[in-house]
Structure 1
């Protein structure tokens, strides 16, 4: 008596063929999407997308901040100081005007924050990055309609 093969004992041939066809397509699609988001696909950029949508892309404007000298929150009897000269990058001229009007508030927020920073928090590139992020947040609070896109350090001296 010969045994008849059942569905449970036969290998699923259709499933294997489907996997052989679908896996390369999924990998190819994921690779293409990754290349597009990374900007490796030529001929289409974010600025082109903005102009396609009908909004002309404005050039960024740089606003000079006055020099700030503040004492840091240093433990012990020895004082530490920071001298900061920076520029703020905003999206357009309207944002630059709003930022200029709010400059006293902006200087106050920056100085108050810097007085609470400890000297060891500013060491290395990670410290500089954290300082940049904190100053960007405060710049956004000082002039709400204006959108600050970056804080550029012209001079950063910790003594």
Structure 2
């Protein structure tokens, strides 16, 4: 009697396990037949897009070539018209909580939008240096640490220099040397 039950159990087990693989194989084949071509098309399209071949096929490259030949791009104009002006070296003592003093030595250059703005900036140089000195003397060593400290310093100096030379627009403040001691 136990042998009959074992045979029935083995027969049921075989029937169930035989039915599942055929269903899962059929479902897996369907998924592969649908998903694989879609992945190939998406991958091929992405490859064409990033290689630039798709732009050439769609004719986008021809339009760019015709506009470039007629007039220089705004980026090229900005690079050609930009002027750089060095500010005098500044040495200030920083705020410290202890008795030991810390100093900041700073050399910066200003990026002007055009060479024609340079006389106005030279005329206002004492005011620019004053604005920078007042701000720099309030800094602590912690304010200058890391990339975020440098970016904040750049933004603050840019705001101050633009306030000093009001009608003229300074595009950027570039650090040439910065030493904290």
| Fold shared by both chains (TM-score > 0.5) | yes
Q: Which residue of 2 aligns with 1:48?
A: 73
Structure 1 residue runs of 5 or longer lacking an equivalent are: 1-40
Shift of 1:104: 0.4
1:115 corresponds, among 110, 123, 137, to: 137
- Cα distance in 1 for residues equivalent to 2:73 and 2:136: 40
Q: Which has the higher contact order (CA 8 A, sep 6+)?
A: 1
Shift of 1:150: 0.5
The runs of 4+ residues in structure 1 deviating greater than 4 Å are: none
- Cα distance in 2 for residues equivalent to 1:158 and 1:50: 35
RMSD: 2.4
SS of aligned partner of 1:86: strand
2:175 corresponds, among 149, 153, 157, to: 153
Contact 1:86 / 1:155 at 8 angstroms: preserved in 2? yes
Structure 2 residue runs of 5 or longer lacking an equivalent are: 1-59
Q: Which residue of 1 aligns with 2:29?
A: none
Flag the 1:75–1:59 CA change in 2: closer, same or farther, 3 A.
same
The structure with the larger Rg is: 2
**TM superposition score normalised by structure 1:** 0.66
Aligned: 1:92 with 2:92: no
Q: Count matched residues.
A: 115
Greater share of residues in helix: 2
